[in-house]
Amino acid sequence: MSPRMPRARRARLPLFTAGAASLALLATACGGSGGGSSAAPKDFSYLSVTENTTVKTALGTLSKGACKAANDALPLKVETVPQASLDQKLQLLAGQNALPVQFAAGNAPALTQQLAKSGKVADLEKELKDLGVYLQLEPAAVSTIKALYGGKLEVLPYEYNIEGIFYNKKLFQDNGLTVPGTWAELESAAAKLEAKGIQPFSASGQQGWPLTRMISGYLYRSLGPYALQDVADGKAKLTDPEYVKAAEEIAALGEKGYFGKGVGSIDYDTAMNQFLTGKAAMFYMGSWALANIADDKQNKVGAENVGFMPFPAVSGGKGAIDQYPSNVGLGITLGAGSFDDRTGDWVSCIAKNYGTTALKDHGSISGFKVNTEVKDANAVTTQVRDTISTSKQNVLWFEALFSTKATTVSQTNAASLVAGSMSPQQFMRTVQDALAAR
Amino acid sequence: MHRVLGDRRAIAILLGPALLVYSLIMLIPMVWSLGYSFTEGNSIDGFTGNGVANFTRLLDDPAVRDSLWFTLKYAVVVTVGQVVAGYLLALLYVFFLRRASALIRTLVFFPVVLPTVAVGLLFQKLFQVAPQTGPVNALLNAVGIDSVDFFGSAGSAFWVLVGMDIWRSMGFYAVLLFAGLVDIPDEVLESARLDGATGLRLVRHIVLPLSLPVLMSSLIFSVNGTLKVFDSIVALTNGGPGNGTTPLTLYMFQTSFTYSEYGYGSTIALLLTVVCLLVSLVVYRVSRRDLTEG
């Protein structure tokens, strides 16, 4: 045994060192290199959220049609994650310098700005101007983006949405209801519907934001268009009585059962489905829902039976009924490191053709110019497009200026607020505390 | 052989690779994470030191208090539930079903091998109230009770969670404790019976003391598992409603990866480590004393 030992050790030592060295290599590889990354992308990879189907299908349409050349050079590859896991995924990918070519840039503008600050996001204004397609963006969409992202064009307006309440015209007519212009009228309409056994509102408590949007809707009507800017600037607190009032009003709707049973377990698709199958009379949603409304497979009540109304006025309030909450949907942006000529080809093709394709094939309104005349799919689309082109002042939404944490806290507690397990004061204090942290 | 094991270099070679891998994937990340506790920032912004700010924040943070309380409450209730249910099942196997217990054992063990996410979805559907009325609520309606929104309040969501985790794991503890009970010599039971000990008295004075060691190991298993609970909660309630069912592990995960505060997340992880350490110490101390007595 003993004479053989040294030889065995000699043989194993290099192996051992090699193992250790490769492990060390692995460990350093995980650390990433810090700066820009992945020079030439292999495909036009696009990371999106599962809930958003419009952009990825419209891009798919483009890749087979107008953008076929760009797609042949750099094939489109779509990957989706659930919206709730998007922020985590982005953090990890950004940390490893592995962001895709194009990606949904986080649920809150705060994360997008963080990514932009650390140089992960392409300077879109410069890139689009270099490509000569900057003027393909609607000015209204550009100004909304700049209001959200600290004056910079950090995302592309794949959607341009206004929000309001979609309602079932037939249910309204059958029950002798007119479109409510004030909050009090909305409440009495809801009471009448509830009395008839029709669920007045459908809303996804699992997502939370459809509920908090109603709080901000009330705030913008009662306190005026700067209500939430004041909170962001520290001039007001969500715990101030006039802010708590808005949460009280929405909680009251929940207390009366207007959102139906188990609102906390209703997911986005179920809420949409409840409205489109005529089980609920009203649905607070953005104009992106036009794509679902135009789809006969989903919409069982018929597009002609769907109407759109602005969030009603609050009597004595400082806001006006024609100030619509607007947004560009889920912010979608492009990585800085992977923006090469072939990516540029894709982007200029998208800028020139996306507006038309989205509207024509998917009934969805984007912030890109519509370069070919498109006949609207239905009356409600025309109504929304007219509203967009005539609206003078837009407002943001409840969490638009919040940190990621406050956004999560607000959206995860919204269901408790309308289910009554959390008081309006408690809700506003919890969100305010999350805002104040750090 | 003795000469080989007596040789320091031989020991180094034999232990080295395992130690290296252990250090690389366990010790270094642990120390690293401890280091992060003194920083703020994230993988996008980079990290900057901020002294003990995270620790003072930890003491003031009501969300930490809530989730620590939830973790402890959950660990105690589920541990007791798992071990008691498992023990009762084991007694059932040994003293009532005897040789015929194989089928029942398999059926009760079945949930253990199901993926947690599947079990989570199953219970979501069982207890749901909308869009369709779930079986449990349908049952309540059938006996004239109104539907309950089980996931609408933290209190009821907690009990659904407890029920699910006990159902999911009692089969495992039943098998573990069954092994302990089978080990009790038949002669001891026989003579106890001859002395007139039956039913509860037999269990209390003979079976329980003789199966104490295996009962203690089940307890340690269970406490360690339940303190670190994560997947079943994410699958069933995702910490909701609000943060009503958020344990420390989930709060740590959210803080680090959703709110991108890696430093503060590491501080919460440290708190969890300390809690686990304390509980383990207590359990070991108690179990050692009992073992020497038994």
Q: Which residues of B touch A430 (CB under 8 A)?
A: 242
Tens of pLDDT, residue by residue over B66-86, are: 999 999 999 999 999 999 999
Nearest to B45 by CA among A338, A337, A334, A120: A120
Contacts with B151 from chain A: Cβ below 8 Å: 262, 264-265
Across B200-214, average pLDDT: 87
| DSSP code, position B237 | T
A302 is a domain residue: yes
What is the mean predicted confidence (pLDDT) over B264-288?
87
Mean pLDDT, chain A, whole residue set: 86
Q: Determine contact, residues A299/A292, Cβ cutoff 8 Å.
A: yes
Question: Are residues A305 and A223 part of one domain?
Answer: yes
* Mutation choice for A interface testing from B1, B19, B44 by most A CBs within 10 A: B44
- Asked if residue A217 lies in contact with residue A311, where contact means CB atoms within 8 angstroms, the answer is yes
Query: How many angstroms separate the CA of residue B138 from the nearest CA in chain A?
Result: 14
Residue B39, judged by CB atoms within 10 A of its CB (0-12, 13-18, 19+), counts as buried
A79 has a pLDDT exceeding 70: yes
Write the DSSP symbol of residue B15.
H
Do A295 and A171 have their domain in common?
yes
The answer to whether the beta carbons of residues B203 and B210 sit under 8 Å apart is no
Q: Which domain holds residue A311?
A: 163-326+397-436
Indicate which of A26, A259, A272, A421 best probes the interface with B, i.e. most B CBs within 10 Å of its own CB: A421
CB < 8 Å to A403, chain B: 259
Of A118, A403, A415, the CB nearest to B45: A118
Tell me if A22 is assigned to some domain: no
Set of chain A residues whose Cβ sits within 8 Å of the Cβ of B260:
87, 91, 111, 114, 404
Q: Which region holds residue A286: left if phi is over 0, alpha if psi is between -120 and 50, else beta?
A: beta
CB B239 within 8 A of CB B246: yes
Nearest-Cα distance to chain A for B39, in Å, is 13
Residue B270 neighbours by CB under 8 Å, 6+ apart: B33, B34, B37
Residue A197 included in any domain: yes
B18: which 2 tokens?
């395992």
> Which position has the higher pLDDT, A12 or B127?
B127
Please give the model's pTM, rounded to 2 decimal places: 0.80
3-state secondary structure of B128: coil
Residues A180 and A299 occupy one common structural domain = yes
Do residue B17 and residue A16 have CB atoms under 8 angstroms apart? yes
Residue A9 scores a pLDDT above 70: no
How far is CA B133 from its chain centroid? 31
Are the C-beta atoms of B200 and B119 separated by less than 8 Å? no
Residue carrying the six token digits 């909050």 = A183
Chain A residues closer than 8 Å to B254 by CB? 408
Name residue B46's beta-bridge partners: B42
Beta-strand runs (E) in A268-343: 280-286, 306-309, 324-327, 332-334
On whether the CB atoms of residues B215 and B127 are closer than 8 A, the answer is no
Between CA A325 and CA A271 the distance in angstroms is: 20
3-state helix, strand, coil in chain B (%, to 5): 80, 5, 20
Inter-chain touch A415–B4, beta carbons under 8 Å: no
B263 burial via Cβ count (<10 Å: 0-12, 13-18, 19+): buried
| Total length of chain A | 438
Structure-token pair, residue B55: 């620790």
The confidence band for A200, taking pLDDT boundaries of 50, 70 and 90, is: very high
A307 and A210, same structural domain?
A: yes
| Bridge partners, residue B237, by sequence | none
d(CA A129, CA A318): 39
Residue spans of the domains in chain B: they are 1-27, 61-293
Residue B89 tokens, joined: 């099942």
What mean pLDDT, rounded, does chain B reach?
A: 88
Q: b/e map of A151-170 (b: 16 or more CB within 10 Å)?
A: ebbbbbbbbbbbbbbbbbbb
Is the pLDDT assigned to residue A20 strictly greater than 90? no
* pLDDT value, residue A39: 61
Cβ contact A248:A420 at 8 Å = no
Pairs of residues, one from chain A and one from chain B, whose beta carbons lie less than 8 Å apart:
121
Give the position of tokens 């009507």: A221
Q: How far does Cα A83 stand from its chain's mean position?
A: 9
Which of B13, B43, B124 lies at the smallest CB-CB distance from A12?
B13
Q: Are A238 and A422 in contact (CB under 8 A)?
A: no
In the block, tokens 């009003």 appear at: A249
Give the domain CATH number at A348: 3.40.190.10
CA distance A88 to chain B (A): 5
User: Per the CB < 8 Å rule, is A404 touching B260?
Assistant: yes
- The reply to whether A255 and A294 lie within a common domain is yes
**Residue A118 near residue B45, CB atoms below 8 Å:** yes
| Residue A424: partners with Cβ closer than 8 Å, 6 or more residues away | A244, A247, A248, A251, A417
Structure confidence at residue B17 (pLDDT): 93
Distance from CA of A20 to the nearest CA of B (A): 8
Whether residues A251 and A316 share a domain: the answer is yes
SS3 B162: helix
Give the one of B17, B241, B260 whose C-beta lies nearest to A264's C-beta: B241
Pairing of strands A76-81, B46-49: unpaired
The full DSSP string for A210-277 is: HHHHHHHHHHHHHH-TTHHHHHHTTSS-TTSHHHHHHHHHHHHHHHTTTT-S-GGG--HHHHHHHHHT
Are residues A263 and A181 part of one domain?
A: yes
Q: What is the pLDDT of residues A370-416, one digit of tens each?
A: 888 888 878 898 899 888 878 778 888 999 889 888 998 999 999 99
Q: Is the pLDDT reported for residue A8 higher than 80?
A: no
Residues A180 and A84 in one domain: no
CA quadruple B159, B66, A409, B37: dihedral positive or negative? negative
What token pair was written down for A193? 């519907």
pLDDT at B2 over 70: no
Distance CA B294, CA B285 (A): 14
Using CA atoms, how far apart are residues A67 and A61, in angstroms rounded to an integer?
A: 9
* CB contacts, 8 Å: B42 with chain A: 91, 95
Looking at the structure of chain A, the number of domains it has is 2
Averaged pLDDT, A352-362:
89
As beta bridge partners, residue A326 has: A162
Give helix then strand counts, H and E, for chain A: 18, 10
**Contacts of residue B161, Cβ cutoff 8 Å, sequence gap at least 6:** B74, B232, B233, B236, B237, B245
Per-residue pLDDT of B99-146, as tens digits, reads 778 888 899 999 999 999 999 999 999 999 878 889 999 999 999 998
- Cis amide prior to A109 (ω within 30 degrees): no
Specify the length of chain B in residues. 294
With contact defined as beta carbons under 8 Å apart, do A43 and A77 qualify?
Answer: yes
Extract the tokens encoding A82.
Answer: 């659930």
Classify residue A29: in a domain, yes or no: no
Interface list for chain B against chain A, based on CB atoms closer than 8 Å: 3-4, 9-10, 13, 16-17, 20-21, 24, 42-46, 62, 124, 128-131, 147, 149, 151-154, 238-244, 254, 257-261
Q: Which of B45, B168, B110, B286 is nearest to A404 (CA)?
A: B45
Helices (H), A32-74: 54-64, 68-73
**Rounded to whole angstroms, how far apart are CA atoms A338 and A122?**
9
* DSSP secondary structure letter of residue A312: P
Whether the per-residue pLDDT at A14 is higher than 80: the answer is no
Both A177 and A147 in one domain: the answer is no
Please check the confidence at residue A213 and state whether its pLDDT lies above 80: yes
Task: Tell if the CB–CB gap between B241 and A419 is shorter than 8 Å.
Answer: yes
Lowest mean pLDDT among A33-37, A320-324, B15-19, B282-286: A33-37
Query: How far does the CA of residue A31 sit from the closest CA of chain B (Å)?
Result: 10
Q: Is residue A154 part of a domain?
A: yes
C-alpha separations of B27 from A20, A217, B49 in Å: 16, 51, 22
8-state DSSP, A289: G
Determine whether the interchain pair A117/B45 forms a contact, defined as Cβ–Cβ distance below 8 Å: yes
Categorize the per-residue pLDDT at B290 as very low, low, confident or very high, splitting at 50, 70 and 90: low
d(CA B294, CA B282): 18
- The answer to whether position A284 is within a domain reads yes
Rounded Cα–Cα distance for residues B123 and B127 (Å): 6
Extract the tokens encoding A383: 């109504």
Whether A361 and A284 map to the same domain: the answer is no
A198 and A304 belong to one structural domain: yes
- Domain for residue A49, yes or no? yes
pLDDT tens-digit profile of A139-160?
A: 888 888 988 888 899 999 998 9
Looking at residue A347, its pLDDT comes to: 94
A307 and A419: one domain?
Answer: yes
User: Strand, helix or coil at B47?
Assistant: strand
Q: Is residue A64 pLDDT above 90, yes or no?
A: yes
Residue appearing with tokens 């180094």: B12
- Closest CA–CA distance from residue B129 to any residue of chain A (Å): 6
- Per-residue pLDDT band for A344 (boundaries 50, 70, 90) equals very high
- Amino acid B289: pLDDT: 62
Q: Is residue A137 part of a domain?
A: yes
Closest Cβ–Cβ partner in A27, A91, A419 for B24: A27
User: Which architecture, in CATH terms, is B61-293?
Assistant: Orthogonal Bundle (1.10)
Shortest Cα distance, chain B CAs vs residue A64, angstroms: 35
